[in-house]
Each structure stands twice: as C-alpha cells, then as structure tokens.
C-alpha cells in the first residue's frame, strides 16, 4: 500500500531539499509575522499629493508641437519651404562666417523626419544640427531640444506655410 | 495624447497615470526612502513611459512594463545619488533611515522604524524582492518578469531577506 502511495507521487517532483528546509522556512515566516503583524511601512505623503502629481505629470508630458498624420505631399512642400526659410535665415543672420553651407541640410532628412515622426537627431547629423544652432538667432540662449525645434518648425514654419496655401 | 493597446483596450497616457501613480509611487518610495526623491523618480518614470508608449509591444502586461521602468529608474537614481554623495549605498541608506525619525512624511511607530532599518541592511536585490513581494504584493511570476530573475532565485532572495530582517529585529 505504501509503495502504491509513493508511486502515485512519482509523476510529481519537488526541488531538491524542499522538505528538509520546509520547517526552517516556515518558522522564519512565522517569526516575521509575529514581529510585524500589521503590514505597514510608516511612510506618508503630503496632503493631496497624488492629485497634484498627476496634474504635474500630465502637464510635463503634453505634446509640444508634435506633428502627426501630415499628408506626405504637403510634407514635401513644407519641407521645401523649411529648407528655403532656413537657407534664408542663414544668409540673413550670418552671411560671412559660414563653415558649412546651409543647403547641405538634407531634404531627405527633412522628409524622413516628418514622414516617420521620429526624433530629429535621428535624421540630422550632428554637423547639420550644429549648423542650424550656430547660424541662426532662433535658438540663442537655449539648448536646442526636440521640443524647441518641433515647436519652431511646426508653429512658425509649417502652420504659416499651410495658412498661406 | 499617446495611447497604447492592451488586451484590445486603448489606454491613454492620462489613464495610466491615474491608474498606476500610487502603486508606482509606493514601490519607488520604499526603495529611495525620502518623499522628495520618490516624487522625482515617479515623474521621471512617467516621462519615460510617455516617450516609450509607442514601443510597448503588448507582450507583457501594462503594469509589469510600468514596474520595470519604475524599477530601472529607481536603481538609476540610487546609483547616481551614491556617486554624487560619495557614500556607499549602505552608508547613505543608513543615514536616510536615521533621518526618518524627523521626517514629516514618516509616521511609523517603533516597530516600523525597526523594519525600515532592517530592510536597509539588505543587499539591493534582496531589498527589491522583499519590497515587491511583501509590500507591493506581487506574485513571483510577476516579479520574475519585472526583474528578469528566475522564480526559484526570487524565492530564495525573499526567504533570506525575511530571515535577515527577523534576525536583525530580534538582535536589536
């Protein structure tokens, strides 16, 4: 009878040493729960913290000039407009000291950027970004971030370009 | 606003913040101790969530994904804080726990203060597992997915954590 019972359990297995260490593990748990019968960490938060932090987080992550679902034909037209405006800005703001021609900015980069809605840095080379930053007054006293460029390109160029069409 | 698809339900970023901010906050707070630090890490966590919403593949549950980001952000923060203060993790945490007595956002009793001190003696991995299992009440399979550790190893980590805490409190 005993061997039949053992056979019944042969289809199951337990980790090595499971039963040998069971008592010790159980006693540890019991002691712990005797010491800390109430589950509490004692931490608290300022009043209305969670309401306020939710607002802060939403505000922090509001899309700023994020471009979505532009028609690609419009994008090509807009990209050309952007290139023209940037080229003009370059010559107006810094006509003499030019280490790199502004028209070396890749139109394909602009098209890919608007088509895929990816990060600007993924499409412009560091040299191209540096050219934009160094040769216009648009970004004076500011670190050029995605958001600043998005906002500038979207609001100042694309929107006015679309409005003119 | 960005959104993701989970189990055929479209979840907006605002919904994620609303639903998970408290759980993630407590998870972070128990690791970094101070409210101000937890607040910073929570905000950084959601900024990362927002930036990566489109990359969420849906091959894990949303909250597992969120916990993973929060855990990584917490560890990054702790490592950065250690570098800045030039203190070891243990020394810094000891000082943070000692300061709990005068922390306006800690109202624990003597037992809870002892518990925090005991948790503080644990290595980071054991501390993480203990917090996630005991306080966050996550299942081992969930913790395994978040930390990328086998369930067997997690059980061992948890057992050693409980044992060390019990011994610390008994001896002190």
Check B13 against A44: CB less than 8 A apart: no
Q: Within chain B, what is the greatest distance between any pair of CA atoms?
A: 53
**Domain spans of chain A?**
72-164
Tens-digit pLDDT string for chain B (172 aa): 566 555 444 568 889 999 999 999 999 999 999 999 999 999 999 999 998 888 887 767 888 999 999 999 999 998 888 888 777 766 777 788 888 888 899 988 888 999 998 998 899 899 999 999 999 999 999 999 999 999 999 999 999 999 999 999 999 8
Closest CA to A112 of A148, A155, A67: A67
Q: Does A151 have pLDDT greater than 80?
A: no
**Between these two residues, A9 and A142, which has the higher pLDDT value?**
A9
Class of domain B1-105: mainly alpha
The closest CB to that of A40, out of B1, B35, B112, belongs to: B112
The closest CB to that of A29, out of B22, B30, B162, belongs to: B162
Kind and range of the H or E element at A4? helix A2-8
For residue A23 the two structure tokens come to 């008592």
Where do you find CATH 1.10.1740.10 in chain B?
1-105
Q: Which of residues 74-133 of B touch A (CB under 8 A)?
A: 100, 105-109, 111-113, 115-116
Average pLDDT, chain A: 65
- ipTM confidence score: 0.79
Q: What is the pLDDT of residues A69-93, one digit of tens each?
A: 444 444 555 555 566 566 566 555 5
Percent residues over pLDDT 90 in chain A: 18
Q: Please say whether the beta carbons of B95 and B86 come within 8 A.
A: no
| Å between B84 CA and nearest CA of chain A | 24
| Å between B108 CA and nearest CA of chain A | 4
| Å between A100 CA and nearest CA of chain B | 33
Check A50 against B46: CB less than 8 A apart: no
Q: In chain B, which residues have their Cβ closer than 8 Å to the Cβ of A42?
A: 100, 106-109, 112-113, 115-116
Check A54 against B17: CB less than 8 A apart: yes
Angle (CA) A130 A134 A137, round 5°: 135
Class of domain B108-172: mainly alpha
Where do you find CATH 1.10.10.10 in chain B?
108-172
Q: What is the predicted pLDDT for the residue at A145?
A: 54
**Range of weakest confidence among A29-33, A138-142, B64-68:** A138-142
Check A28 against B30: CB less than 8 A apart: no
Nearest CA in chain B to A58: B14
Q: What is the pLDDT of residues A92-123, one digit of tens each?
A: 555 544 444 444 445 545 545 544 444 455 55
| Å between A53 CA and nearest CA of chain B | 8
**Between these two residues, A61 and A50, which has the higher pLDDT value?**
A50
Q: Which H, E and C letters describe chain B, residue by residue?
A: CCEEEECCEEEEHHHHHHHHHHHHHHHHHHHHCCHHHHHHHHHHHHHHHHHHHHHCCCCCCHHHHHHHHHHHHHHHHHHHHHHHHCCCHHHHHHHHHHHHHHCCCECCCHHHHHHHHHHHCCCHHHHHHHHHHHHCCCCHHHHHHHHCCCHHHHHHHHHHHHHHHHHHHHHC
Angle (CA) B84 B28 B56, round 5°: 105
For residue A139 the two structure tokens come to 């970004």
């Amino acid at each position: 009878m005993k061997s039949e019972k053992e056979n019944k359990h042969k289809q199951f297995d337990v980790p090595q040493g499971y039963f040998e260490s069971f008592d010790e593990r159980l006693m540890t748990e019991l002691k712990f729960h005797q010491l800390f019968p109430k589950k509490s960490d004692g931490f608290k938060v300022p009043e209305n913290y969670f309401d306020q932090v939710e607002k802060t987080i939403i505000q922090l992550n509001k899309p700023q000039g994020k471009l979505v679902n532009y028609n690609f034909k419009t994008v090509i037209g807009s990209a050309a407009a952007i290139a023209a405006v940037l080229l003009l800005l370059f010559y107006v703001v810094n006509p003499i000291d030019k280490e790199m021609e502004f028209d070396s900015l890749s139109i394909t980069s602009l098209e890919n950027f608007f088509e895929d809605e990816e990060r600007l840095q993924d499409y412009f080379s560091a040299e191209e970004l540096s050219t934009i930053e160094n040769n216009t007054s648009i970004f004076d006293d500011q670190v050029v971030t995605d958001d600043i460029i998005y906002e500038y390109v979207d609001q100042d160029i694309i929107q006015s370009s679309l409005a003119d069409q | 606003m960005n959104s993701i698809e989970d189990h055929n339900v479209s979840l907006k970023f605002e919904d994620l913040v609303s639903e998970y901010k408290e759980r993630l906050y407590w998870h972070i707070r128990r690791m970094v101790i101070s409210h101000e630090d937890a607040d910073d890490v929570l905000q950084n966590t959601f900024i990362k969530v927002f930036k990566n919403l489109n990359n969420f593949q849906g091959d894990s549950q949303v909250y597992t994904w969120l916990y993973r980001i929060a855990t990584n952000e917490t560890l990054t923060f702790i490592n950065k804080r250690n570098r800045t203060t030039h203190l070891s993790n243990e020394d810094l945490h000891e000082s943070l726990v000692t300061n709990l007595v005068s922390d306006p956002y800690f109202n624990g009793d003597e037992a809870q203060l002892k518990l925090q001190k005991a948790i503080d003696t644990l290595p980071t991995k054991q501390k993480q597992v203990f917090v996630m299992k005991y306080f966050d009440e996550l299942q081992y399979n969930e913790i395994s997915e978040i930390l990328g550790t086998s369930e067997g190893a997690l059980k061992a980590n948890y057992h050693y954590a409980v044992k060390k805490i019990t011994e610390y409190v008994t001896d002190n």
